Amino acid sequence: MRTFIPLFILAFALALPACQNEQATAEAAERVFREWQEHLDKNEFDQVRAMSTPETESLISLVEDLAGMMPQDSTTMHTEFSSLECKLLTDSTAICYYEITDEEFMGQDSLYRDSIDLVLRHGRWLVHSPLRFNGDDLDLEDLFEEDFFNSEEISGQQ
């Protein structure tokens, strides 16, 4: 029995890095992004923050502020991805490309395409989508500028 305990500890120590490496997959990043989007759709901002990098706080705060200005029953939604593909860029960064079909926009179908970055920090995938804008104040007109939601260079990797 005495040899069993050290062998168990050794096996656990050897398996731990394998578990962390298993998370460094495009599939794991996709699962995290899908879960993050589900929480965002339900206005569960604490969960969204827990699954995001600190640099993403400005985006989360903006969405939370906008949701607070709208009637309660109009702020929850259910995002259906018409396509979603995540790719590893490095062993600790990934990008997810997605498309969403909006069937309710002015009576016509429209296709929205975008991407979002994820980083692997401390063994966890986190959504990394900081807002970029010029100046100190954020104006709602900035929302309509080209490349407003594109992420800046990914920093602070693992």
Residue ranges per domain, the chain? Answer: 25-144
The confidence score (pLDDT) of residue 75 equals 65
Nearby residues of 134 by Cβ (< 8 Å), 6 or more positions away: none
- Strands of the sheet containing 108-121, edge to edge, are 81-90, 93-105, 108-121, 124-128
* pLDDT tens per residue, range 47-71: 999 999 999 999 999 989 988 888 7
Tell me, yes or no, if the pTM score tops 0.75.
Answer: no
Architecture of the CATH domain 25-144: Roll (3.10)
Q: Assign 33 to helix, strand or coil.
A: helix
Q: Which of 2-6, 14-18, 91-95 has the lowest mean pLDDT?
A: 14-18
The confidence score (pLDDT) of residue 77 equals 79
Alpha-carbon distances of 129 from 55, 106, 137, 154, 157, rounded to whole Å: 7, 29, 18, 9, 14
